[in-house]
Amino acid sequence: GRARNMAVIVQDVAAVRSGTMETSTKLFELHAGTRVQVKAQKNGYLKIRLAKGRIGWVKLGDAKVI
């Protein structure tokens, strides 16, 4: 596949967490239309990286791989 998979946030507000659980610490929020780089997928979550280098996990349904 491509070396660089991208995704776009599709929910109005998506919580970016420190891990792949509902109880994982919420680090920050992203809004619909935000593009992120996909690093990994696990337990129904995507590990994403922002342009500024921030990394976290979002629910699969909150983002769509493009």
DSSP the chain: --S-EEEEE-SSEEEEESSSSTTSPEEEEEETT-EEEEEEEETTEEEEE-TTS-EEEEEGGGEEE-
Average pLDDT rounded to a whole number, residues 9-32: 97
- Residue-wise pLDDT for 21-37, tens only, equals 999 999 999 999 999 99
CB 60 within 8 A of CB 46: yes
pLDDT-derived band at 4, boundaries 50, 70, 90 = confident
Instruction: Return d(Cα 29, Cα 3) in angstroms, integer.
Output: 26
